[in-house]
Amino acid sequence: MNAVSAPETIDPQESAVICRNIHKRFGGRKVLDDVSLSIPKGAVLGLIGSNGAGKTTLMRILVGLLMPESGSAMLLGEPALQMTDASKTRLGYVPQQPDALNWMTVESMLQFVGSFYPRWDSEYMWNCLMRWNIPPSQGLAKLSPGERQRVALIRVLASCPELLILDEPASALDPVARRDFLREIALRAGEAGMTVLFSTHIVSDLERVASHVCFLHEGRLLLDTAMDDLKETHARLSLSREAAVGLSKPLPGEIARRRRPDGGVSIVLTRRGLAPWPSAATASGGTLEAMNLEDLFIEITDQPGAAWFLK
Amino acid sequence: MESDELLIQPSSAEPIYRQIAQQLRRLIASGRLSPGEEIPSVRDVAGSHAINPMTVSRAYGQLEAEGLLERRRGKGMVVATQRGRAQSTDRRLQQLQPQLDELARQARELGLSAESVLERLRVLLEADQ
């Protein structure tokens, strides 16, 4: 089950988000370069990328706040730039620095915003405000960045969206609020079928709740897989400088290779399912080891011209 | 059994569904989970560890397919009554094989003798009893 699949295999009924061949440039600099992805309903897709990789731009295009140069984005079955008001109530979006309606108090803002949403859950809202220690009568402008982010998450979760798009949602949360928030996302996705797209550079958050993972690097999507498969189908072969001499040609299933500072070589291999690793790898004299998400991200992006092995 | 008795390490290289399945296999093999005993619901495990419920379902589904768990009406998942009894020493050792291989590899890399590693291991195993 890939989050990004060939366009002809995508069923619009089964996908909450479909975008195709998105290009975007700012001042001549390519920010997004031919990005296509689809997110099946009920999936939690984690978008990992370093700062400046294009995550925020992609999300702004998806929610219709920014026009791509070319390419198309569909959300909940409608073009992102022409969503009806009714569909917008099924969408939740939290930007990285939420600062709308700053002159209002927490309570008045939440009640004002809530009046636009037919499925607004006041009980959830009050519970969360208490649990996360937010004084309801406080002015939004006087909140700390962490509190401001918590209020934004309460706002979006209380609206009970079918599709939730979050830009670095947990970056300013303390550990307790972060765990609460991850639990809420995981349970709503798994039980109510809510679809979630969230970007982060905190990889461990993603390893808990994501069902799918994408790497965005220098404006291109480098990898997209179901989370469980990702760890089972990728491994790192580490070779000493001497052992690497005999392996100048790419190995079967090789997707990335980099030279380490000590002169040795790290190779990332993929396989289908749980098929055995290629014998050339096991016989090379190097060590073959499974990787977590962070290792994999570094191996794949930390090399010149990392985008060469697209898909 | 409580859901927080499971140890979940999200940043491990081993997928979470496999961590769950392996732990339950070990608990069943050792007899610490007995036939007919109820295991925590998918929601409990997902909620207490803030992980995706689909991941937990996948682990349970796999164990059900292996015949180690059974779905009971109105009760959720229970340890299977047929195969739930403790397995032979061989079968249980088999489940430790990957970890043993890895331990042996690292011990060789560090140039440690079999005796010194076994001695440490014995201390660890006996301390826990």
What residues form DSSP beta bridges with B65? none
Q: In this structure, is residue A1 part of a structural domain? A: no
* Claim to verify: residue A106 and residue A189 sit in the same structural domain: yes
Q: How many H-runs (helices) and E-runs (strands) does chain B carry?
A: 5, 2
Strand, coil or helix: A122: helix
Q: Which residue stretches of A173-287 are H helix?
A: 175-192, 203-209, 227-233, 241-244, 279-282
Looking at chain A, the whole-number percentage of residues with pLDDT higher than 70 is 93
Contact list in B for residue A208 (CB cut-off 8 A) is 10, 16, 49-52
- Under the banding of pLDDT at 50, 70 and 90, the label for residue B87 is low
Residue A200 pLDDT > 50: yes
Give the pLDDT confidence score for residue A248 in this predicted structure. 78
- Token readout for A117 is 């949403």
Q: Do B52 and A291 lie within an 8 Å CB cutoff?
A: no
Of the three residues A196, A218, A240, the one that is the final residue of a domain is A218
Predicted-complex ipTM score: 0.80
Burial of B6 (0-12, 13-18, 19+ CB in 10 A): buried
Q: What is the DSSP letter of A214?
A: E
Same-domain check for residues A179 and A89: yes
pLDDT of residue A250: 85
In the numeric block, the tokens 């990005």 are attached to A35
Q: A286 to chain B, minimum CA–CA distance in Å? A: 12
Q: For residue B16, which residues of chain A lie inside 8 Å, CB to CB? A: 207-208, 228
In the predicted model, is pLDDT for residue B84 greater than 50? no
Non-local (6+) Cβ contacts of A6 within 8 A are none
| Residues A66, A200 within the same domain | yes
**Tens digits of residue pLDDT in B32-65:** 998 999 999 999 999 999 999 999 999 999 999 8
Q: Chains A and B: how many Cβ contacts under 8 Å?
A: 68
Is there a single domain that holds both residue A159 and residue A34?
yes
- Cβ contact (<8 Å) for A228 and B49? no
Task: Output the furthest CA–CA distance in chain A (Å, rounded).
Answer: 69
Q: Are A196 and A249 members of one domain?
A: no
Please report whether residue A52 resides in a domain.
yes
Q: Which domain holds residue A257?
A: 229-309
Same structural domain for residues A235 and A198? no
Return the CA Rg of chain A.
21
pLDDT band at A52 (very low <50, low <70, confident <90, very high): confident
Tell me if chain B has a CB within 8 Å of the CB of A295. yes
Residues A250 and A214 occupy one common structural domain? no
pLDDT at A276 over 90: no
Nearest CA-CA partner of B70 in B37, B95, B31, B46 = B37
Does A209 lie at the interface with B, CB-CB under 8 angstroms? yes
Hey, is B8 helix, strand or coil?
Answer: coil
Put simply, the answer to whether B15 touches A231 (Cβ < 8 Å) is: yes
pLDDT for B6-33, tens place per residue? 999 998 989 999 999 999 999 998 889 9
Answer whether A75 touches B (CB < 8 Å): no
Residue A81 lies in a domain: yes
Q: How many domains would you assign to chain A?
A: 2
For residues A163 and A90, the answer to whether their CB atoms sit within 8 Å is yes
Q: How confident is the model at residue B129 (pLDDT cuts 50, 70, 90)?
A: low
Last residue of a domain, one of A186, A218, A250: A218
Residues A139 and A239 in one domain: no
- Give B43's contacts in chain A (Cβ within 8 Å): 187, 191
Per-residue pLDDT, averaged over A119-125, amounts to: 94
pLDDT band at A5 (very low <50, low <70, confident <90, very high): very low
Domain boundary among A218, A245, A273: A218
- The CATH number of B3-79 is 1.10.10.10
Q: Give yes or no for a contact between A213 and A225, defined as CB atoms under 8 angstroms apart.
A: yes
Phi/psi of residue A36, nearest 5 degrees: -125, 135
- Residue A153 neighbours by CB under 8 Å, 6+ apart: A94, A166, A169, A181
* Same domain flag for A63 and A180: yes
Let me know if residue A107 belongs to a domain: yes
Q: Which amino acid is at B69?
A: L
Q: Give the model's pLDDT for residue A202.
A: 77
Q: Are residues A190 and A259 in the same domain?
A: no
Determine, yes or no, domain membership for A224: no
For strands A234-239 and A195-200, give the pairing. unpaired
